[in-house]
Amino acid sequence: MLCVASAGEISREVLEPLARVKLDTGSDGAFYGAPRLVNHVDDDFLRQLTQLYREKLPQEGGCVLDLMSSWVSHLPPEASYSKVVGHGMNAQELIRNRQLSEFFVRNLNEEPELKAKDGTFDAVVCCVSVQYMQYPERVFAEIYRVLKPGGVCIMSFSNRMFYQKAIAAWRDGTGYSRTQLVKQYFSCIEGFTAPEVVTQVGVEPDNSILGKLKRFVSRSASDPFYAVVAYRNFKPLEEE
């Protein structure tokens, strides 16, 4: 008997119903209604993130989806992307993001479908927002769908969150358990490569006076860096 696994299908549900629950069950639209024009992690985290994008994303002509984005995408400023599409919950934030070519607003907890055709993007990135996904299995299946074969997905996060909007499985976890959880999100979709965890990216320190001062002030409380990286690289599995 010949069995062929289907690319992009959800092979199992990662989360139990109670693990998906948020403390604040009120409207996400209302919660994110006021623009927050701030960085939610520190400069060291963001320098590492930009360098990771520099190393993993195509720098010339690539098409990128910035999922659950905001007023800044942290993409390398020197890169020449053909298009950067932003998604988020606040149009006022997204319209201020100068790295975006276009954007759309959607609550993925209610409508996990992404507004793109199959095989559109060379890369999908998501910065410090995966903790709010109540149905990550469906979102990651959509990420697979919109990625080109060989396209990369990078999920980055730290230990910061809107605690009341993060799902229970995330709130109650540790840095290690959260990386394992995101790995499971990738692994439950047929066709992603084995996810890689990145906890440090080599970058040149900011040795300006301001940079040194920031490191001195925050040296004992810098935001830990976590990223999980996987690629769309499906090959059918055959069994007799």
Q: Is residue 208 part of a domain?
A: yes
Q: Name the band, by pLDDT with cuts 50, 70 and 90, for residue 155.
A: very high
CA dihedral over 16, 163, 109, 178, signed as positive or negative: negative
Residue at token pair 């693990």: 19
Q: Is residue 7 part of a domain?
A: no
Q: What percent of the chain has pLDDT over 70?
A: 86
Q: How far apart are CA 140 and CA 161, in angstroms?
A: 20
> What radius of gyration do the chain's Cα atoms show?
18
Q: Is residue 10 part of a domain?
A: no
Q: How far apart are CA 102 and CA 94, in angstroms?
A: 9
Q: Is residue 8 part of a domain?
A: no
Q: How far apart are CA 160 and CA 128, in angstroms?
A: 8
The count of domains in the chain is 1
The dihedrals phi and psi of 217, each to the nearest 5 degrees, come to -70, -40
Q: Is residue 88 part of a domain?
A: yes
Q: Is residue 168 part of a domain?
A: yes
How far CA 170 is from CA of 15, 137, 141, in Å, comes to 11, 15, 20
- 27 is written with which tokens? 């409207």
Query: What digits encode the pLDDT tens for the residues 44-78?
Result: 999 999 999 999 999 899 999 999 999 999 999 99
Q: What is the CATH number of the domain that holds 119?
A: 3.40.50.150
Residue 48 and residue 203 in contact, taking contact as beta carbons nearer than 8 Å: yes
**Mean pLDDT on 144-173:** 95
Q: Is residue 239 part of a domain?
A: no
- Structural domain boundaries, residue 111: 17-231
Residue 66 and residue 73 in contact, taking contact as beta carbons nearer than 8 Å: yes
**Mean pLDDT on 17-26:** 95
Q: Name the band, by pLDDT with cuts 50, 70 and 90, for residue 209.
A: low
Q: Is residue 181 part of a domain?
A: yes
